[in-house]
Structure 1
């Protein structure tokens, strides 16, 4: 049976065992039904103690899930993948984010924006694992590394889906998969936009083109102006711009590629002594330097606790 306090479990012994609600799941729940526990369910439990009053056993599912969460985090770190973590707290050194049911620490030096802890509360951040140490209860994460990984895949002229986050007099901030890009007012349309709110609203979904991105600062410049089939379509017919976005972007990339090829050919023609040659991709020399190694500020790191065990 189940009740507000947890569940009573038949373990084929002289007396039934109890599963307290706080031991039913690694996440915070108010009733065991939220963890999929119901009468008739057969499950494996860990015995964590006994009640002094009647010597009945106390069971836990949370302890099993806790070990599995650390194992999963170690696996994700080894695979070097980007995960999403919800910010639930912070201190002077950084913010606390929940990943796989565990509370990890993200130092401010490893957050790509200049936001405060209060501004990040309840937001989801793309993260990568920096340190996973179960023995020391130490789980350190980096938003900057995750953003750098995402930005490395953003090619100039590529089209991505974004959501309008906020409007400013000078443009709109667009969330493109965890990266915050700026759609400047001059890049919304070929026609003049005097009031951005007449074209865009927070929550709107749209396609935007990547104009440039500064990896070190985490800044991305966007454009819908380049995606207009005819000047002013973003104002008069934004649906058409959405439909034709990929086609217009392809045309834009072709023009850019042709211009770059001509420029490289001119360089080789006028500087034959340089010893440079074009690759099969038309690339002359290295395109971008390696990203500098980022130092970590690991001060004030709270221990990585499971979500259910944390008390505000």
Structure 2
């Protein structure tokens, strides 16, 4: 027959008045020995990784004491109180509050478990950003620091990184701190703890919503590479590839363009998924080679040539539709 522990052997908890418990138990119609037997029968098997409900009953300088129904009060260290930076426990918790806690470790030598709220928030934050990425959502986040590679932000409490190549602004990187930027997700990898975002792609998408293929826009040359020129068209950058400058062969874009040149270009492709805008002056040439000999003529007749380009696209679309309608199936 199992031996019931004596009343003096029962651990009630560090912050519980033994006499009050004895009085309450006797008033309820059973003894302390019987209560010990019930504790043994219904003792929960808490293990790391479990999420349990608990009641906050004490806030201390280094953490909080939590009642989760174990024989000894559980402890939550200050660093585990939130995924966000907090000044004190009272910013997040208050005595008597009931909420969920994550069990971090096995019982220590005193029979005490270590708990965390931060771990629950961390798991839910990754679930949230995965959903936002799936929806291809645009989010806004504040830059809290910059480094040589880019800028740092927080998304749902997680640290995110914006590579320098995906920051689209005329400001110096250091001046971005405290700015709220529209962002798109590039990489969401919980296993590697990598959250990478793009400011450029968010701006391009916003701009793309107001642009269309065949439209003529005014831009400024911001950079020239061997393969083409980057043109600023109202806050976003489009690529004028070397093959799209003129019908005539060009050795290097530098022979035709200079940084800070203002010019008219036509949009020939909008790739929202990759955040790219492709431009052309070749399609605006009244005669092949005009961009080399008389660029102003090209700009003066840009709208007229663009209208012809749109008409050509429309005719090609209609022709393709007719061909599709003419297909018969055996």
TM-score, structure 1 normalization: 0.50
Q: Higher relative contact order at CA 8 Å, sep ≥6: structure 1 or structure 2?
A: 1
TM-score, structure 2 normalization: 0.47
